[in-house]
Structure 1
Amino acid sequence: MTATLPPGTRNGGPRGWPLLGNLPAFARDPLAFFTSLRDDYGDWVPWTLGPQRNVLVSRPELAGELLGAVESTFRPTELGWAVHQLLGDGVVVATGDDWRRKRALVQPAVRPRQVRAYAATMVECADALAGGWREGARIDVHREMGGLTQRIAVRTLFGSDAAGREGPIGAAMATAQRELGAEFRGLTMFLPPWVRTPGRSRMRKAVAVLDREIAHVIREHEAASARGVDRDDLLSRLLAARDEHGAPLTRKGLRDESITLYVGGHETTSTTLTWAWQLLSGAPAARARLTEELDRVLGGRLPSYEDYARLPWTRQVVQEALRMYPPIWLITAVAGPEARLGGRAVPAGTRVWTSPWSMHRDPRWFPEPESFRPERWDADAPHPVPEHAWFPFGGGPRACLGARFALVEAALILAVLGQRFHLDSGSGRAGVFPGLTLQPDRPVPATLRRPGR
């Protein structure tokens, strides 16, 4: 820990409205708000969100220190009514001993060895999608990537028992995502749970659909397990998991962790791929280098899990897309009685924020931050990225459990589709909508072309 606040830290912060604080500016455009706090006030900025005391930190070492201190001197922030409706008491929401127990139960299901087993499903689904595409056709990239990662998420999470349920699950998840983002950015985040609003009614209906569909799949899995059927999907692994006392997850626990893994395996990857295709469309040299690598390494065959390590440029394209459009665009934790950051005591109850969006676009850590440059991740790049400056999956003890799954999935899908098609979105560019994840604010149309044309 440093003895004094780091360079770039200045005193003061933005003035707020009576009672509301800085909520209007935050709600209007949280991404621009965090960037302006960084640029106008420095690396340690006090601000207010209604009655809440907040601090935004914008240096990598402070972000790393904060992420590492969660579950010790900081505690995870209460994420609000909408998040609890969707994720229940899953590992993302749990704290303390409950979180440690649930993490120990869930983590084995997404270890690298298990991700290897799911790679074939990722490739098979991507190949089936490409088989239905035709040169010259127009597609909505975001819809196509969402449908693809949804099929992969349902198959790897629920297996064949969920056949035909992808539509209702996906539609309900899309509604839940929209309402969660709207609640988080608006005044309703301060309302008690019993207050009903039109958005909360839509959220309840969407969650009811998810509960019904997932309960059906869980019952099918339990029946199959009772018959001695051996399955290799994520839900089966959760059913078989036991804590240190030999206790399994409850039925509600299975529901909560299933939805948590679904969000991580579907939403994160679909948005990352959408941004990656849009960025590649505007970067002919990067796209040509991708084509060359795929031709040289794969020679026209489908990739396997082992090819993930053999496709460095493909991985760098994913890494750079995650830099420019991190799905998790903000992280926050609440200071406990002994909390300190950068050598400074943080008053208990203060909510400390850090934003992957603003950190990833800071020119101090990433020269020309608005430019799509996968070469910045080359092993011999002239400007090495500082530790903790890139954290699209969070960090510390509460880092995203599904990070490996998402990285492998995105790279393998790029490899399968990129061998056969270039997704040409022309000069149009979608903006961003910060909901549960960082989504495009409009459809992303593209014309399918053969690589090199």
Structure 2
Amino acid sequence: MTTANASSYALPEPAPGPTGMPLLGNLPDFAADPLAFLTRLRDDHGDVVAWRLGGRPCLFLARPEHIAEVLAGAETVFRKTELGSAFRQVFGAGLVTSEGAEWQRRRAAVQPAVRPRHVKSYARTMIDCAEEFVSDRRSCERVDVRREMMTLTQRIAVRTIFGIDSTGREAAIGRAMDIAQEELGASLRGLGGRLPAWIPTPGRRRLAAAVEEIDTEVGRVVKERRRAHEERDDLVSRLMAASDEQGRSLTDREIRDEAVTLYVGGHETTGMLLTWAWYLLSRNPEARGRLTAELDDVIGQGRAPSYDDYEQLRYTRQIVKETLRLYPPVWLTRVVAREGSVLAGRSIPEGTMLWTSQWATHRDPRWFPDPAEFRPERWNDEVATGIPEHAWYPFGGGPRACIGARFAQVEAALVLATVARRCHFDIDSGDIAPKAELMLRPDRDVMATVRLV
């Protein structure tokens, strides 16, 4: 990837954004369709746009070099946004919600659990779950691809994170997590998240019940591990064995918080990624044919994929990257300016919220010609060198980059390879639009006919 020149780096005077409403600012337009709103800021107003979310002054940034500086300064120059009571309920004081010294302590303890050598040990579970999924498929069967991929990645997440291999308990954690994620998305997008925490809305009651279920199930797993006094090859066990730079172990509550954080990142992100990948492959038969050819060449017909195949599955990995470009599960990044914050040579008033959008940047025609087109070959080594740094950043960047990025990409590629060798989803005609919730979800069921290959 390329880097920006000095002339494009300096932050210009922010352009005024769309006129908002009294008190609400641009909140109604953002809440109605955040993806379209953020794209319009770039297309109609420029690379640096001033707007208002309620009474909060905001700055939208579109250029990769400015995005890179925002991400790099997320723990020093800027601070994370206040995510609200719903996020604190779900994630506790984990990596998503903590900051400063506490965030550094937790990251130092959690990071070793998802190192590449550990991801390799989880690959067998990923492939086994995908093989189980394929063995249950029948030719001409009708399925909802999103539901099937979410169930599959849920099973992988529960087994790799919690070490649970029980359908009933998998389902219990999965249902609670799904409710929690739906309510988090509603809180992020709408007015409900800005109401005082003491107001008992229906969504908040559903969230409280889901969190209680999550706490019960995760607490049960931790207690079982402590009673058994055995080493297990799952993330909870690794978190239990982890320690920070001072040698302090994580408490049971801290283990719970980080396990939930890893679950949401590992399950929802990868499930959405695979759903969109199948949608794009169904709409692009030439790419599907190239995928089949690569799988025949690298794996053949006599065995299942393995972790050792991952680096050789170049086109498969390009499909994953291109899907993440077009439909990044995490579509929005926000930080808040501290006193004295400076970005690209310009002072930013304290309290200003700085917004960047993976959705808008990944579809910017300056960095990606014909940005709406699905072209995995964009990521050939020779071509990708012309793409600026941070024009593609589905896992964030800087110190707060997602620690599960490799886990998610390995899982997506190996599941895609395992399933694609034996079946394909012919998704019903008609466009499917993304819906911006906590993650980028399809706006309707993704119905398909299974075709065994």
2:441 aligned counterpart, secondary structure: strand
Which AA in structure 2 matches 1:447?
T
Question: Which residue does 2:232 correspond to in 1?
Answer: 231
CA 1:330 to 1:336, structure 2 compared with 1: closer, same or farther past 3 Å?
same
Matches of 2:430 and 2:420 in 1, distance apart? 20
CA contact (8 A) 2:186 2:438 kept: no
CA distance in 1, matches of 2:314, 2:37: 35
> d(CA) in 2 for partners of 1:120 and 1:403?
18
C-alpha distance in 2 between matches for 1:42 and 1:349: 22
Is 339-348 or 354-363 further displaced after alignment?
339-348
Please say if 1:48 is aligned against 2:52: yes
Aligned counterparts of 1:14 and 1:253: Cα–Cα separation in 2: 43
Match of 2:77 in 1: 73
> Please, what is the CA RMSD of the aligned residues?
1.6
Q: Report deviation, 1:5.
A: 6.0
Give 2:377's aligned amino acid.
E
2:399 aligned to 386, 397, 400, which one? Answer: 397
Deviation at 1:162, TM superposition (A): 5.8
Q: Deviations over 1:295-317 (max 9, x none)?
A: 01000221111111000000000
CA distance in 2 between counterparts of 1:374 and 1:401 reads 24
Whole-Å separation in 2 of the counterparts to 1:434 and 1:10: 26
Partner residue, 1:251: 252
Q: Per-residue deviation at 1:122? A: 0.3
Offset at residue 32 of structure 1 (A) = 0.5
Which stretch of the first structure deviates more once superposed, 145-154 or 426-435?
Answer: 426-435
Confirm or deny that 1:271 pairs with 2:275. no
| Structure 2 CA distance for partners of 1:186 and 1:162, relative to 1, 3 Å | same
Q: Distance in 1 between matches of 2:10 and 2:231?
A: 55
Tell me the residue number matched to 1:98: 102
Answer whether contact 1:4 1:343 (CA < 8 A) is retained.
Answer: no
Q: CA contact under 8 A between 1:429 and 1:444: conserved in structure 2?
A: no
Alignment of 1:157-306 (within 5 A): 157-160=161-164, 164-225=168-229, 229-300=230-301, 301-306=303-308
Aligned to 2:66: 62
1:356 aligns with 2:362: no
Report the number of matched residues.
448
Task: Give the structure-2-normalised TM-score.
Answer: 0.96
**How far apart are the structure 1 equivalents of 2:8 and 2:337?**
19
Query: Once the two structures are superposed, what CA deviation does each residue of 1:289-334 show, in whole Å capped at 9, x if it has no partner?
Result: 0000000100022111111100000000010000001011000001
After TM superposition, give the deviation of residue 261 of structure 1 in Å. Answer: 0.5
Q: Deviations over 1:419-448 (max 9, x none)?
A: 011111032332212111111121101111
CA contact (8 A) 1:329 1:434 kept: yes
Q: Distance in 1 between matches of 2:250 and 2:340?
A: 33
Aligned-partner Cα distance in 1 for 2:266–2:51: 34
Distance 1:244 1:137 in 2: 52
Do 2:186 and 2:193's aligned partners in 1 also have CA atoms closer than 8 Å?
no
For 1:101 and 1:136, the matched residues in 2 are separated by 51
Q: Which stretches in structure 2 are left out of the alignment for 5+ residues?
A: none
1:420 corresponds to: 422
Partner Cα separation in structure 1 for residue 102 and residue 323 of structure 2: 34
Post-superposition CA distance 1:254-283 (Å, at most 9, x none): 110010010011000000000000000000
Contact 1:107–1:401 under 8 Å retained in 2: yes
Between 112-121 and 168-177, the greater mean CA deviation after superposition:
168-177
Could you tell me whether the CA contact under 8 Å between 1:161 and 1:220 is conserved in 2?
no
Measure, in 2, the Cα distance between the counterparts of 1:402 and 1:180. 20
Which residue, 79, 102, 117 being the options, matches 2:121?
Answer: 117
Written as runs of structure 1 = structure 2, the 5 A alignment for 1:427-446 is: 427-446=429-448
* Distance verdict in 2 for CA 1:133–1:41, change over 3 Å: same
* Inter-partner Cα distance in structure 2 for 1:134 and 1:370: 33
Once the two structures are superposed, residues 211-269 of structure 1 have per-residue CA deviations (whole angstroms, 9 ceiling, x without a partner) of 111111111111112xxx12111000000111222221111111100100100110000
Give, in whole Å, the separation in 2 of the partners of 1:288 and 1:78. 46
Shift of 1:6: 5.0
Question: For 1:371, what is the secondary structure of its paired residue?
Answer: coil
Which 5+ residue runs of structure 1 have no aligned equivalent? none
**C-alpha distance in 2 between matches for 1:174 and 1:259:** 12
Q: 1:383 to 1:36 in 2, by over 3 A?
A: farther
Partners of 1:252 and 1:382 in 2: how far apart? 43
Shift of 1:358: 0.4
Closer, same or farther: CA 103–222 of 1 in aligned 2, 3 Å: same
Deviating more after overlay: 181-190 vs 282-291: 181-190
2:140 alignment counterpart: 136
**What amino acid is the match of 2:228?**
A
SS of equivalent to 1:230: coil
Secondary structure at 1:380 match in 2: helix
Could you say which residue in structure 2 is the equivalent of 1:29?
A: 33
Residue deviations 1:352-378 (CA, integer Å, cap 9, x gap): 010000000111111111111101111
338-347 vs 26-35, greater mean Cα deviation: 338-347
Whole-Å separation in 1 of the counterparts to 2:64 and 2:250: 37
Cα shift at 1:160: 3.5
